[in-house]
C-alpha cells in the first residue's frame, strides 16, 4: 500500500537532521569558497533538506561526516560528489524566453549585425549560467529566425556554460516536458521541436548543433578561453553572489566582449556598476551594456 502524502512528509521531516549554527556557517563558507554563491540564514532549511536528501542516498546521517567526505576524500570521488551536490543546491527554475525584453534586445542586435557586417560573418554568443538549456535554445531560436528572415549567409554559434555537470547533461539532451514547450509560440515550436511522446519534446538537431555546452565555474573566468563575443547573456545568476563578487564577475565578462558587442544582464541584478570601455544600452525592460572601444 502506498503511503499517504502526510505520512511521507512526516517521514522526511523526522529524518532531516538538525543543523547547528556552526555547521551552517561551515557549509556556507565551503559553498562560497568553491562557487562564490552565498546562502543567507533564511535559507538554512533549504540547505538542511537538500543535504539530508543526498545524505540518505549515501547512507549518512551526520552533516560533519558528509562534509569530511567532500573535503578529505580521494580527489576523483570528491569531484564527482561535489558535482552532484552543486546540482542539488543550484536553483534551476528557468523557462524559454524568460525576460522578453532581453530577447527583444538580442533580436534587434542580430538584425543590425546582419545589416552592417560583411557577408559570411560569424556571430559569437555566450550564455553564462545556462542551467538546463532553455536560455541558449531561446537565443538560438531568436538568431535563427533573423538569419532566415534576411536570408543571411552569416554563421552563428553559442557557447553555453554552467557549473553543474548533471545540469549540462540535461541541456545537451534538450528534452523538455510538454508544459514548458507549450508556452512557446506555436510557429517556433513547430519549427524547432519534435514531439517524442505525449509528455516530452526535444529540440531539433539543427538547433542543438549550434550550441556547445561546457562546464565553467564563474570564479575561474580569468582562465576561461572565451574571447571576442558579440553577445554575452547572463541572467538570473548574479543574485546568488555578494555585491563585490557581482562587480568582479561582470567586469571579467565585459573584458570578453568584442568591440560593439553587448552584455545583457538581468534587470536589477547589479546597480552602480560602470566600465570605461562600455556604455549603457537604453532599451525597454532590459539591462545591457555595449563595448564602445
Give the pLDDT confidence of 126-165 residue by residue, as tens digits: 999 999 999 999 999 999 999 999 999 899 999 999 988 8
pLDDT digits 0-9 by tens, 167-208: 999 999 999 999 999 989 999 999 999 999 999 999 999 999
Tell how far CA 110 is from the center of its chain.
22
pLDDT digits 0-9 by tens, 214-264: 999 999 998 899 999 999 999 988 888 888 999 999 999 999 999 999 999
Residue pair 37/246 in contact by the 8 Å Cβ criterion = no
From 56-65, 114-123, 184-193, 244-253, the region with the lowest mean pLDDT? 56-65
pLDDT at 10 over 60: no
* Cα pseudo-dihedral 159, 163, 164, 165, rounded to 10: 60
pLDDT at 25 over 50: yes
Give this prediction's pTM.
0.85
Q: Quote the mean pLDDT of the chain.
A: 89
C-alpha 179/C-alpha 188 separation (Å) is: 15
End-to-end CA distance of the chain: 68
pLDDT at 12 over 70: no
112 Cβ partners below 8 Å, 6+ apart?
A: none
- Please report the pLDDT score of residue 230 as a whole number: 98
Amino acid at each position: 500500500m502506498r503511503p499517504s502524502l502526510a505520512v511521507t512528509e512526516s517521514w522526511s521531516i523526522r529524518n532531516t537532521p538538525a543543523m547547528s549554527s556552526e555547521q551552517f556557517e561551515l557549509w556556507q563558507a565551503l559553498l562560497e569558497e568553491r562557487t562564490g554563491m552565498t546562502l543567507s540564514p533564511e535559507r538554512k532549511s533549504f540547505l538542511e533538506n537538500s543535504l539530508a536528501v543526498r545524505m540518505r542516498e549515501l547512507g549518512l546521517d551526520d552533516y560533519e561526516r558528509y562534509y569530511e567526505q567532500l573535503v578529505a576524500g580521494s580527489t576523483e570521488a570528491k569531484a564527482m560528489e561535489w558535482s552532484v551536490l552543486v546540482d542539488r543546491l543550484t536553483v534551476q527554475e528557468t523557462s524559454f524566453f524568460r525576460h522578453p525584453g532581453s530577447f527583444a534586445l538580442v533580436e534587434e542586435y542580430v538584425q543590425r549585425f546582419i545589416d552592417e557586417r560583411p557577408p559570411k560573418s560569424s556571430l559569437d554568443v555566450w550564455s553564462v549560467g545556462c542551467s538546463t538549456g532553455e536560455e541558449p535554445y531561446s537565443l538560438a531560436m531568436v538568431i535563427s529566425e533573423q538569419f532566415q528572415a534576411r536570408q543571411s549567409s552569416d554563421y552563428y554559434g553559442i557557447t553555453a556554460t554552467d557549473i553543474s555537470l548533471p545540469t549540462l547533461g540535461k541541456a545537451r539532451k534538450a528534452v523538455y516536458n510538454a508544459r514548458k514547450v507549450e508556452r512557446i509560440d506555436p510557429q517556433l515550436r513547430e519549427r524547432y521541436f519534435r514531439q517524442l511522446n505525449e509528455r516530452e519534446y526535444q529540440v531539433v538537431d539543427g538547433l542543438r548543433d549550434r550550441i556547445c555546452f561546457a562546464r565553467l565555474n564563474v570564479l575561474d573566468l580569468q582562465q576561461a578561453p572565451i574571447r571576442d563575443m558579440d553577445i554575452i547573456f547572463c541572467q538570473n545568476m548574479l543574485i546568488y553572489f555578494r555585491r563585490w563578487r557581482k562587480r568582479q564577475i561582470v567586469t571579467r565578462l565585459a573584458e570578453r566582449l568584442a568591440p560593439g558587442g553587448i552584455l545583457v544582464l538581468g534587470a536589477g541584478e547589479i546597480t552602480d556598476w560602470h566600465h570605461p570601455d562600455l556604455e549603457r544600452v537604453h532599451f525597454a525592460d532590459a539591462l545591457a551594456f555595449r563595448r564602445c572601444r
